[in-house]
Structure 1
Amino acid sequence: NLKEMLRHFVEFRKEVVRRRTEFELGNALERVHILEGLKRALEHIDEVIEAVRRSKNREEARLALVSRFSLSDKQAASILEMRLQRLTSLERQKILEEHDATTKEIERLKGILEDEGRLLELIKAELLEVRKVYGDGRRTEIVEEMPEIRIEDMIKDEKVVIVLSRRGYIKRVPLSQVRHQGRGGKGKMGIILKEDDSLEHVCLTSTLSSLLFLTLDGRAFLTKVHLIPEAPLTAKGRHISAILNLKSDETISALVPLEDFPGSSHLFMVTKKGFVKRLSVDAVRKAKKKALKLVRMPEEDRVVSCLFTKGKDEIMIVTRRGLSIRFCEDKVREMGRGTYGVRGISLGEGDEVVCADVVSGKEDVFTVTERGYGKRAPLSEYRVQGRAGKGIRNILCKEKNGPVLFVRGVRRGDEVILATEKGRLIRFRIEEIPLQKRGGIGVKLMDLRGERITGMGIIGNGA
C-alpha cells in the first residue's frame, strides 16, 4: 500500500544520505588533517624553510619535516608542494579560515550520523528543495473506485493487412509496410512460403476490429485482430492453430472484418453453388468462445464469400465465367444457423460462384481474373435485378485474362492490394485502371511470371 511504499522510500533515502554523509566526513577529516599540517608549518615557517634548504633532495626534506615537527607523511608532502605565494598574510588567513570551516563541517556531519532526527530533517529539507525546483501540478487523479480497463484501451488503432497461407500460416502486417508501386509491376515479396504452400487470403482491417474466420463447411470463429501475431513483411508468421481450434481437415474460406456489432447488422453468406443466406450478426457473438456452425449445406457445396451488411445493402455476386447479379439483401429473409439458404443466382452448366461483395455507396465495380487482369466498370451499368436470376455479363473471360477470381465495389481514391500464390504483393491506385464497358476484357494488373492471383484487398479512401 501507499504507506508501506513511503516507508521503504524513507529507508532508502536514509541509507543514501547516511552513506553520502560518511563519504563527505571522510573527505573533511582528510582535509583538516592537511590543514593542521599547513597551520603548524606557518607557525614555524622560518624553521621549515631552513630544514628544506639544508636537505639534499625531496625525500630528505620530507623526513626532516616529519621528525622535527611531528608531521605525517601526507602533511609533509603537502608542505613541500605549497607555493611561496601562500606565505603571504592573506593566504595564511585563508588557510586558518578553511581549517575552522572544515572543523565545523566535521561536527555537523558527525551530528547527522549520530542523531537520526537530524538525518530525517536533512532528508525533509532536500525533498522540499526538489519540490520547489521541479514540482508541478498533479497529473494523476485519485478516485474512489478503479475504473475498468480494457486491453483495447492500450492498443494503438492502426490499419493492418492480415495474410493467411493455404497451410495455415497467418500474420498481421502494418499497412504502411506495403508501399505503393503502381499497376503492372511484379510486386514485392510479402511472405516467404515453402514449396508446398501458397498464399490464400489477404484482408484489410484495423487492430481494434474483430475478425470472423469462416470455414468451407460453414463453421465460424471470432477473434480480435490484435491477438493475431504481428510479423515483418517477409516473415512466414505463426500457424493458425495457435489462435483457432480448427479441425485437422478444416480450411478457411473467408475472412470478415467486423468493426462493431449494431443490432441491425447481418452476415450474408454466398456459396459456390449460388445459394445465399442472411443471418443476424448476433448469431456470431458466441463464436468468441467456441466455433459455431452458421450454415448447413451439402458436401459438394462450400462458402466462397461472407459479407458484413447493414440491413439494406446491395449485393453483387460474380461467377467464374464472368456473369454477375446485383440485388438488395432484404430480398433474402433472415434465417437461423441450422439452414442452408436460398438461391441467389442461377448458374449455367459448369459455372460456379467465386466471389461477392457489398456495392452500396460504391461508384464502380472492380473485377480481377486469375491471370492478373482487372476491369473497372461503372456500377450504373449493372442494373438491380431480382434474386435467383441468371445475371448479366460482367467481364469477357478469354484465355488471355482467365476466369474471374474477385469482385469489389470501389470508389475514386481507393487503393488495391493484390497477392500471388507465392506471396508477392502489389499496391496501386484504383484510378490506374481505366474505366471500361461492363463486358470488356480488362487490363493487365500485375506481372505474374507464371503465378496466379490468390488474394485481394481494397484500401478505402482515407485509410
Structure 2
Amino acid sequence: TDCRAIRDFNLPDHCMMMATRKGLVKKTLLEQYSRPKKGGIIAIKLREDDELVDVVVTAPGDEVVLSTKRGMAIRFNESDARPMGRNTSGVKGINLADDDELVGMVVADPNATLLTVCEFGYGKRTPFGPGEQATGEPADDEAGEAATGDSAVSSEPAEADESADGGDAATSSGARYRTQRRGGKGLRDIKTTERNGNVTGIVRVDDDDELLMMTARGKIQRIAAGEINVIGRNTQGVRIMRLDDDDTLIAVVRVPKDDNGDAETVVATPAAPVAAANSESGAGGNVAGDDFDQPEADEPTGDES
C-alpha cells in the first residue's frame, strides 16, 4: 500500500492514521509501533472484504481528506477519530455509495492544493483552503454512538454543483474543501465523467513540487505541479497526461523540488511493477493549455466500528 519514514515514535500525541477501501479510518498512537518484532506486528485488523489503502501521520489539530473513486471527498479533523489499539478495524471515515470505494487520504494543508487524478489522464488542483465549517451548517446527528462505538453517518446529502466546469478557483463558491464531520457523504471533488473515468488517487502538492505519473502500460512522465491548472471543486479538470487508447493512469508520486531523500507520497499503487519507459515514448501532453472540456498473538480484538 505505502511506506512511511518515521524518525521518532515518541512524538507526543502523534498518530498513525490508516484508511481502508471500505471507507474506515483507524488512528493509533505512534508509540504503539515502536517495538517491532522479527515477524512483524499487527498494524490494523482488516475485514475479509476490505484492504488497506493509505497511511498518514497526524499531529494534534491536523485535518485529513479522504477521496473516493467516484469523485467524492470529505475533510474532517483528526480528533474526530479517537485513538485505538493496533489490532482494531477502525471507525467510518466516509459514507460510501454502493458502487464507490476509497482511493486515497492526505493531511490537509491550508496553503497547499489537492491534486486529484483520474484514470484517463485528466485531473485538477484545488486549494485546501482554511476548512472552517460553513456558517449555519447543520450538526450531524450522533444518536447511536454509544451503541455502535462510531459517529452516526451524516444526514447531509452530497453537495450540488457549485462551480462551472473550468471555473476560477479564486472566485468559485466551490473553491475549497470545508471541514465536515467524520462519517458523512462528503462533497463533490471532481466529475467522474466518461471523459475522465474514475479517480485514481490524490496527493497534496505545492506549486514548486514535481510529479511522476505512471500508466498501466509502463509509461512514466514527469511534470511540474505548477503546470496543472488550479480550479474549483465539482469540475472536470484538464488533461495532465496524454494516454494511448488502451492505457490508463494508475499512480502519481510527488517529488519535492529540492528532494533531499525524504519519502515520497504514492497515491495509487500499481497492481504489478511498472517498468519505466522513455519520456520520448509519446506520453507527453500539454498540461495547462488543454481544454477543460506471521500472525502474532496480540492485544484483544475489540472492534470499534
Shared topology, TM-score over 0.5?
Answer: yes
CA distance in 2 between counterparts of 1:457 and 1:283 reads 28
The answer (yes or no) to whether the contact 2:118–2:198 under 8 Å persists in 1 is: yes
Give the partner amino acid of 1:350. Answer: D
CA contact (8 A) 2:65 2:76 kept: yes
Equivalent in the alignment of 1:151: none
Q: How much has 1:421 moved relative to structure 2?
A: 2.2
- Match for residue 273 of structure 1 among 11, 16, 22: 22
1:383 aligns to 2:132 (yes or no): no
1:257 CA displacement: 3.1
Q: Is it true that 1:335 corresponds to 2:90 in the alignment?
A: no
Structure 1 residue 451 displacement after superposition: 1.8
Residues 258 and 372 of structure 1: CA distance in aligned 2, closer, same or farther (over 3 Å) = farther
Cα offset for 1:444? 1.3
Shift of residue 262 of structure 1? 4.1
Which residue of 392, 417, 427 maps to 2:212?
A: 417
Counterparts in 2 of 1:394-409, with a 5 A limit?
Answer: 394-409=189-204
What secondary structure is seen at the aligned counterpart in 2 of 1:287?
Answer: coil
Q: Equivalents in 2 of 1:315, 1:406: separation in Å?
A: 14
Q: Is the 8 A contact 1:316 1:357 kept in 2?
A: yes
Q: Distance in 2 between matches of 1:451 and 1:317?
A: 26
Shift of 1:362: 4.0
Please say if residues 25 and 90 of structure 2, whose CA atoms lie closer than 8 Å, have aligned partners that are also in contact: yes
1:300 aligns with 2:49: yes
Q: Post-superposition shift, 1:408?
A: 1.5
Give the Cα separation in 1 of the matches to 2:128 and 2:58: 18
Q: Which amino acid aligns with 1:269?
A: M
| SS of 1:255 mapped into structure 2 | coil
Taking the aligned partners of 2:5 and 2:120, their CA distance within structure 1 comes to 27
Judged with a 3 Å threshold, the aligned counterparts in structure 2 of structure 1 residues 452 and 260 are, in CA distance, closer, same or farther, namely farther
CA distance in 2, matches of 1:402, 1:412: 25
**Judging changes above 3 Å, is the alpha-carbon distance between structure 1 residues 256 and 422 closer, same or farther for their aligned structure 2 residues?**
farther
What CA distance in whole angstroms lies between the structure 2 residues aligned with 1:360 and 1:261?
Answer: 23
Q: Which residue is equivalent to 2:11?
A: 263
Is residue 444 from structure 1 mapped to residue 239 from structure 2 by the alignment? yes
Task: Name the residue aligned to 2:106.
Answer: 357
Show the 5 A alignment for 1:167-178. none
Distance 1:402 1:391, change over 3 A: same
Equivalent of 1:456, from 252, 257, 265? 252
Q: Percent identity?
A: 34
Deviation at 1:332, TM superposition (A): 0.7
Q: CA deviation at 1:397?
A: 0.6
| Deviation, structure 1 residue 308 | 1.9
Query: Normalization by structure 1: what TM-score?
Result: 0.44
Q: 1:292 and 1:348, CA in 2 relative to 1: closer, same or farther beyond 3 A?
A: same
Counterpart CA distance in 2 for 1:258 and 1:421 is 30
Instruction: Tell me by how many angstroms 1:448 deviates.
Output: 2.2
Q: Distance in 2 between matches of 1:336 and 1:318?
A: 25
Offset at 1:454?
A: 2.0
Could you say if the C-alpha distance between residues 270 and 444 of structure 1 is closer, same or farther in structure 2, counting changes exceeding 3 Å? same
- When Rg is computed on C-alpha atoms for both structures, the one with the higher figure is 1
Q: Deviations over 1:37-92 (max 9, x none)?
A: xxxxxxxxxxxxxxxxxxxxxxxxxxxxxxxxxxxxxxxxxxxxxxxxxxxxxxxx
The separation in 1 between residues aligned to 2:217 and 2:15, in whole angstroms, is 34
- 3-state SS in 2 of match to 1:270: strand
- Count, aligned residues: 211
1:202-227: CA deviation from partner (whole Å, max 9, x where unpaired): xxxxxxxxxxxxxxxxxxxxxxxxxx
Q: What secondary structure sits across from 1:456 in the alignment?
A: strand
Structure with more relative contact order (C-alpha pairs < 8 Å, separation 6 or more):
2
Answer whether contact 1:395 1:441 (CA < 8 A) is retained. Answer: yes
Alpha-carbon distance, 1:284 to partner: 2.2
Equivalent pair of 2:53/2:103 in contact (CA under 8 Å): yes
Alpha-carbon distance in 1 for matches of 2:7, 2:211? 20
What is the CA–CA distance in structure 1 between the aligned matches of 2:34 and 2:10, rounded to whole Å? 12
What displacement does 1:365 show? 1.2
Instruction: Give 3-state SS (helix, strand or coil) of 1:312's partner.
Output: coil
Once residues 419 and 401 of structure 1 are traced to their aligned partners in structure 2, the CA distance between those partners, rounded to angstroms, is 16
Counterpart residue type for residue 81 of structure 2: V
| TM-score using structure 2 length | 0.65
Offset at residue 295 of structure 1 (A): 1.2
Q: CA deviation at 1:259?
A: 4.2
Stretches of structure 1 lacking an aligned partner (at least 5 in a row): 1-252
Distance 1:288 1:422, change over 3 A: farther
CA distance in 2, matches of 1:287, 1:370: 37
How far the C-alpha of 1:447 sits from its partner, in A, is: 2.2
Report if the CA contact (8 A) 1:378-1:438 is conserved. Answer: no
Other structure's SS at 2:5 match: strand
Deviation, structure 1 residue 307? 1.0
Partner of 2:228: 433
Instruction: Report what 1:369 is aligned to.
Output: 118
Q: Which amino acid aligns with 1:255?
A: C
Deviation per residue, 1:78-134 (Å, 9 max, x gap):
xxxxxxxxxxxxxxxxxxxxxxxxxxxxxxxxxxxxxxxxxxxxxxxxxxxxxxxxx
> Quick one: which of 61, 76, 79 aligns to 1:312?
61
The equivalences for 1:62-461 within 5 A come to: 253-264=1-12, 265-287=14-36, 289-380=38-129, 381-449=176-244, 450-461=246-257
Contact 1:320 1:353 in 2 (8 A): yes
Secondary structure, counterpart of 2:35 in structure 1: helix
